[in-house]
Amino acid sequence: MKAAGLVLYKFCDFAFLPRPICRLSHLWLEGPCNGLAGSLSPGVNSTTCPQWTALHPTKHRGLSEDLDVAYSSEDFKQRAIQVLGEAVRVPTESYDDNGPVGEDSRWDTFAELHRVLEASFPRVYESLNVTKVNTYGLVFHWQGSSTAKPYILAAHQDVVPVEGQTVKDWKHDPYSGYYDGTWIWGRGTGDDKSDLIQQLLAIDSLLKQDFSPARTLVLSYGFDEESKGTEGAGHLARYLEETYGHDSFALLLDEGGRYTDMGGIVFAAPSTSEKGYLDVEITLSTLGGHSSLPPSHTSIGLLSRFIAAVEDNPHQASLSRTGTPFATTQCLAAYSPLYPDDLRKLARKAVTNDAALKVLQERLLASDPLYKAMLGTTQAVDLVEGGVKVNALPERASAVINHRIAEHSSVDELQQHMIDLLTPLAAKYDLALVAFGSNVTYGSAGRVVLSDFLGTALEPSPVTPTEYGPWALLQGSIKAAFESSPTRNSSKVVVIPSLSIGNTDTRFYWNLTKHIFRFSPSFDTDSFNGAHTVNEAFRADSLNEGVRFYTKFILNVDESDLL
């Protein structure tokens, strides 16, 4: 996964005031509704952050309970460690400059991973219909007995490359899959082979118990999520839409937000939307010549002025009541014991009061730099190029500005912002401006071009509904898995929507369903050193808990009438 964000507060502790029972959408919610003062217990429901009760399978209750026992065994834990380690030992690296499948031999390593998966899960391969899309994309089709809409579990097979000069900094070889008694070491243990293996372990366990689904389940595993995604999920999405049709799936669950402990209250934060993306290249072209007779501004000097103009005019943040960051804020304000009381009251007031909403936005932006990324479009000048020789005037200079587009904005709005901002500058220096294929101004001193670098523009994702239905089912499944775990000590969890500031393979699946969730059933502390860096490792005890979640989710979706 490229990146994800959730603003967490670290303040002081407060009490809560219970309120009367409330009900929503014909499904009983947890506990009494909240008032204004203090944080709520996870068992107390909030009007601004509805919490559904734990949803345990009913038709398959006995099966679910039997598997709960099995997943708590040391034998199952050791099997999970073994199969994840074997998958990690295959270095399925994807690179930004990978060529198409069939032309670039670096893809060939995925064939070995497929052999490992088939050897580890023969029952899955024998019982499910397995299709390979664009050679290395994997689709597992588990046919159901009913005509209910199918659903998708997704993950990706590839990992970020390990830089050769960093291998010496790893505690264990980055592709060892070594288990030290606590951690499983290696690239991909947390991102994202753990999700993939946990899903297959859950399905294998259900098959072993002779479970046969009523609702069709599809597994979709891409192989270049860490680069462009076009060879893997891009092809998989087209295949699935051609095979099943537009909007043909009840829901889709991919990697994403995790559990976080905040002052003794555990939050699960599935991402319900993702920011958009646009790399804008600014290219300046002017006449060359000898450096002994320079103009007032070379192409590099002019480029620096354009860059400065961009950085001096950042995009404005916006906290909208209809946006995911507002929903996340309301949930944290309701349930986090670390939230300051005055800010908690301000957040509650902002639900209906515009002045309070404005003050809340200002307070949030001042409280944590991450809110700038959550509430607005970000920009970062990441690449600069220009000049070939110290005594030759540069005829060309360029810069690439990476943008992560706010949920409330769009690619068109960002492009127009760039045009409006830079047109006066082009006119000032008598430069012709060509912006995203259109002539904007004419000039005789040179030319400036704004373009979509590498053609990777992406709109912000549709926002998944967080009302009754798939969201309630996901929330209930998370709670059931968490609260039934013998290692959680019957702890309760608050489930809240969040915005991902990076992008996953779900960006290719928008046509398949309106209900796209991004959640990985592990704690942030279950990763030793995060992802995409040295010493990536995954806590072994978390594997069983992830399998427990996927099992309950599969059983709940299978017997649910909420979809």
Give the neighbor-by-neighbor strand order of the sheet with 446-452: 378-386, 396-405, 276-285, 446-452, 431-435, 438-441
> Is 178 strand, coil or helix?
coil
What does the alpha-carbon distance between residue 373 and residue 81 come to, in Å, rounded to a whole number? 36
- Cα separations (Å) of 356 from 9, 39, 321, 341, 369? 20, 19, 12, 15, 21
- Cα separations (Å) of 450 from 409, 416, 420, 427? 19, 11, 12, 15
Assess contact for 60 and 165: CB atoms under 8 A.
no
Dihedral through CA 360, CA 41, CA 484, CA 553, nearest 10? Answer: -30
Is residue 156 a known part of a binding site?
A: yes
Is residue 60 a known part of a binding site?
A: no
Whether omega before 430 lies within 30 degrees of 0, making that bond cis, reads no
What does the alpha-carbon distance between residue 466 and residue 49 come to, in Å, rounded to a whole number? 10
Q: How far is CA 131 from the centre of its chain?
A: 25
- Of the candidates 482, 511, 520, the residue with the CA atom closest to the CA atom of residue 271: 520
Buried-exposed string 42-73: b where 16+ CB fall within 10 A, e elsewhere: bebbbbbbbbbbbbbbeebeebbeebbebbee
> Is 219 strand, coil or helix?
strand
The distance in angstroms from the start CA to the end CA of the chain is 27
What does the alpha-carbon distance between residue 315 and residue 331 come to, in Å, rounded to a whole number? 26
Q: What is the DSSP string of 234-260?
A: HHHHHHHHHHH-TT--S-EEEEEEEEE
Is residue 526 a known part of a binding site?
A: no
Assess contact for 522 and 547: CB atoms under 8 A.
no
* 498, β-bridge pairs: 271
489 Cβ neighbours under 8 A, 6+ residues apart? none
Dihedral through CA 145, CA 151, CA 157, CA 158, nearest 10? Answer: 160
What does the alpha-carbon distance between residue 136 and residue 9 come to, in Å, rounded to a whole number? 42
Kind of pairing, strands 265-268 and 183-185?
Answer: unpaired
Is residue 297 a known part of a binding site?
A: no
Dihedral through CA 441, CA 442, CA 445, CA 449, nearest 10? Answer: 50
Annotated catalytic residues are 158, 225
Cα radius of gyration (the chain): 26
- Of the candidates 42, 489, 69, 47, the residue with the CA atom closest to the CA atom of residue 268: 42
Is residue 354 a known part of a binding site?
A: no
Which residues participate in the annotated binding site?
156, 191, 226, 254, 532
Which residues participate in the annotated binding site for Zn(2+)?
156, 191, 226, 254, 532
